Chain A
Amino acid sequence: MNVLFVVISVILAVFTYGFVDPNLHLSGNPLYAALHGPLMELVFRHRPAATAVYAVCICVLFLVYYFSFRKTDTSVGKHPRFRLLFLVGIIYVIAYPAFSYDIFNYVLSAKVAFFYHENPWIVMPVAIPNEPMLAFTRAANKVTLYGPTWVFLTAIPWFLGRGTVWAELILFKSLSFIWYLGALRLIYRITKDPKAVLFFGMNPLVLIEVLLSGHNDIVMMVFSLFAVSTIASGKRSTRYAGIGSFVLSVFVKGATVVLLPLWFLRNPTREVLFRWAYILMFVIFLLSPIREEMYPWYAVWFLVFAAVIPIRKGSFIHPFSIVLTFSLLLRYIPYMLTFSYGGPGPIMRELLTAVPVLFYLVWYAVHLRFRPETRRKALA
């Protein structure tokens, strides 16, 4: 199982290089050039085949994830799959961010702030028309959408990368990797359950969106998870640290501001806090189409809280979250097939997301209806 997970991850990582933007020259290395040509040919000229490769990789990853998750014992301590996650994480960090251009915006905003010494909340990258990265960055006609926590964090990879695009991509993804490892450690510290760590860490959506695409939601969620975990703490200094962490979280992306009411609950247990946090982040996730679109990486918002809710037999949250994350990764298929955001793409995306989830909900409802002992346990 572990070998299969690594092999499929390597295949997916190699496959992503077919999506390299035509205006981006990553490397002059002959081995890279030899691989890149056929991969681009596959992705741009044989779209159904490329889409099939992607779909098969996702399905296999989720199957391995599901069976690994079921097989994990609950012994405390180092677990072989933690080393697997570290190895797989490195594979995804080296992969090309094929499914989202956001990381290029992160790099360019960092360049606006730390190279051009401009205020990234006022100056859009397009205001510097001779900036070479504009050739392969999308949505450069926007100021940075992120708060100071994220912008100042990006100083680290920016200065280390010295402006080289390839180095910057790897370093920005490494930043996400470090926060991903931090999330795993925090989840283990809270739950003492290796299964909880695998639930989050091995989820293909987390691996793809956090490590492969390098989205910064993981930073926001590590801060907020720590913050929520301290609400019920008996130590005042811990609670103050939690409040500070919450503020830092809000100043990454803002979505976690909805967790503020949790600080006003009377004597909540940790589980109650995490359940409410899951619900609040899930509601914000559902409302995200109002602002723009339901992006797959937004699932990290509620998934991190699902990981710290005790995983019990008959639980609804955990299998539902797994099914939803699977269906969210299917949203890339219409664009891969058509290379267009218009036409049947939007409706196909919604169907690919809704159908697996609806199937699961119907199955769960039927399962509850005909298994009274399961229903009693689920409602307990």
Chain B
Amino acid sequence: MPGNRLYRVSRILDGLKRYWYWGTIASIEYRMNLSDKYLVEAKTLFEYKQYLLATDALKRSDSEISYLPGLVSRGRSGGKDMGVFRTSIAEEASVHEEVLRNLLTGVPPEFEWAPENGKVSVLPLGKLLEQSIVLRMRIRSQVKKS
């Protein structure tokens, strides 16, 4: 989690692992794991009201899960039966949606983030969470169709 001495190291390792998880199936596993990991990070940070860091983690989770439909299509055009992966991606997206809906009920729609030596910014928490939910719904329908 942010604040831990090894957090930066773990983020760097997450980035480097991309080169180890080559191929569509390995990439699906990699992206799914990271999407889960960053969503858990976001959830924890939301609960601790660390909204700036939480939204950053949420965006990273959204980014990772966005890769999945393309990877499934690529796997299918590579002659691989992607049935099992379509099912597990759809299930993952469904679980993510549930977590995000629960978060939506517990956070304010907007939050003014005022750092000590910086500009005040407004974090549209509700909008961001809704966008994340919609993204996962779209991914679920995309993988079911492919």
Contact = CB atoms under 8 A, between A and B. Distances in A.
B67 to A, nearest CB: 16
A123 B23 contact: yes
Interface size class of A (residues with CB under 8 A): 10 to 19
Interface string A106-147: 000000000011110011000111100000000000000000
B80 interface: yes
Interface in B3-24: 20-24
A122 B81 CA distance: 17
A127 to B, nearest CB: 5
A119 B17 CA distance: 12
B23 A119 contact: yes
B84 A129 contact: yes
A117 B78 contact: yes
Contact of A119 (B20, B80, B81, B83): B20
B134 interface: no
Contacts of B80: 116, 128, 130
B26 A123 contact: yes
Interface in A187-235: none
A117 B81 contact: no
Contacts of A117: 22-24, 78
A123 B25 contact: yes
Interface string B75-93: 0001111011000000000
B56 interface: no
Secondary structure class of chain A's binding surface, majority of residues: loop
B29 interface: yes
A116 B20 CA distance: 15
Contact of A128 (B22, B25, B29): B25
B75 to A, nearest CB: 9
Contacts of A128: 25, 80-81
A116 B81 contact: no
Contacts of B21: 119, 122
B88 to A, nearest CB: 11
A130 B81 contact: yes
Contacts of A119: 20-23, 26
Interface of B: 20-26, 29, 78-81, 83-84
Given A117-B78, A119-B23, A127-B84, 6 more contacts: A117-B24, A118-B22, A122-B23, A122-B25, A128-B81, A129-B81
Interface of A: 116-119, 122-123, 127-130
Top 9 A-B residue pairs of the complex, sorted by shortest distance between their CB atoms: A118-B23, A130-B81, A122-B26, A119-B26, A123-B25, A129-B81, A128-B80, A119-B22, A117-B23
